[in-house]
Amino acid sequence: MAITDIASRTYNHGWRLDPIIRSLLDTDFYKLLMLQMIRELHPDVGVTFSLINRSWHVRLAEVIDEGELRAQLDHARSIRFTKKELIWLAGNTFYGKTQMFSPGFIAWLADFRLPEYDLRKVEGQYELHFYGPWTHTSMWEIPALAIVNELRSRQAMKGKGRFVLDVIYARAKAKLWSKVERLKTLQALRVSDFGTRRRHGFLWQRWCVEALKEGLGSALTGTSNVLLAMDNDLEAIGTNAHELPMVMAALATTDKELREAPYRVLDEWQRTYDGNLLIALPDAFGTTSFLRDAPDWVADWTGFRPDSAPPIEGGEEIIRWWKQHGRDPREKLLIFSDGMDIEAIEATYRHFAGRVRTSFGWGTNLTNDFIGCTPDGGTDLDPISLVCKVTHVNGRPAVKLSDNPEKATGDPAEIARYLRVFGDAGRVRVPVRV
């Protein structure tokens, strides 16, 4: 495969529309896994997803042209799964399992299209909402984030000369390769690309994945991006996300049902999937409360993905819980994926070596690390913390507490209710960069 000259592509493109989303497979693998379960068990639930810019100082509506944003969103709505893509999904082996996706689900995907959106400007920011069935709005999360992030990157690149662009990308490439060389020294490392949602751009993510494939070899376990997995003969990596417990919790009508919602999700998941897909995400309403009330059978799952607690502290808490339940942590898996970069990967890898199996999902700091790469010292290419979260379920507000209160989302009154039910133990406020 020829290596794309990204600087030339950026400098020379003058098309009416350079599509950011080229395929509905340009999404995270766990979206398809969750979608299959959602369609089977919750086809009538209505869910609203909303764009949330946690880097409020970046006024996106003053950076990104509304017409360009609408054009990209409209283009994404025009895309359908191709026959080639559906054949690959139906026939490929994922996590060692053939026919991960049922024939009925594959047939349903053939007619799938992204639903409409609601976009407006409010105080220098974009309000972007996706209303409709959960089976459809869920699939907007990743492309919406990719579109907004890449439009911001393109705007930052506008007007820069050919040689300046060459320098920017050369510096970013050298920066990434220096990280690859450090990772190569970690024996039996397992790392995967988790960088779709906040990438600098699609072509840059593809370059990063190809660089990891060559530089890390078997240490690269795959990519969460389904399209890149298909195109580069890599494993598609992913399990489940916060939206599952958030939706189940919003549907709860009593405090008891609310407290049990995270485990109801896991029970549904284990009736749908098994093996290495049995990875629990414990922090939607706080890891400490999740472990405190978790049924014993959760300890039989393959592992956990601590996502918002500091990696070493979060991992240690889970290891203690496994030991309390009579399980050997050395047989378990911890997947670390929250804002990981080279220093955090190295420190976490060395801390847990020989005590538990570890794997790392490398996201924004893999596919969008242009910090310090611009000749003028500007920060327009620095990544921001942009998310697209469940905000309403059947008209009721949804909440995420997180282990880090800075990442909490939802109506303040509902957040207070959730804190009363789940408690505040173990939650530590930490600044969010990505």
Q: What tens digit of pLDDT does each residue of 307-346 get?
A: 999 999 999 999 999 999 999 999 999 999 999 999 999 9
CA 278 to chain centre: 17
pLDDT of residue 12: 63
What was the pLDDT predicted at 11?
Answer: 57
Which neighbouring-strand residues pair with 315?
none
Give the confidence band of 83 by pLDDT, cuts at 50, 70, 90. Answer: very high
Above pLDDT 70, what percent of the chain? 97
Give the pLDDT confidence score for residue 206 in this predicted structure: 98
Residue pair 187/140 in contact by the 8 Å Cβ criterion: no
- Quick check: 14 pLDDT over 70? no
**Residue partners of 418: CB distance under 8 A and separation at least 6:** 249, 258, 285, 399, 401, 410
| Cα torsion 216, 217, 221, 225: sign | positive
* CA contacts within 13 A on the Cβ side of 348: 31
Residue 276: partners with Cβ closer than 8 Å, 6 or more residues away: 95, 96, 302, 333
Predicted TM-score (pTM) of this structure: 0.96
pLDDT band at 5 (very low <50, low <70, confident <90, very high): confident
More confident residue, 26 or 159: 26
Which of 4-18, 35-49, 53-67, 114-128 has the lowest average pLDDT? 4-18
pLDDT at res. 347 = 98
Sheet arrangement for strand 220-223: 220-223, 191-193, 357-362, 333-336, 303-304, 279-280
What tens digit of pLDDT does each residue of 208-259 get? 999 999 999 999 999 999 999 999 999 999 999 999 999 999 999 999 999 9
372-407 tens-digit pLDDT: 999 999 999 999 999 999 999 999 999 999 999 999
- Helix 412-422 vs helix 255-270: angle between axes, to the nearest 10 degrees? 80
User: Does the CA dihedral 220-198-7-382 come out positive or negative?
Assistant: negative
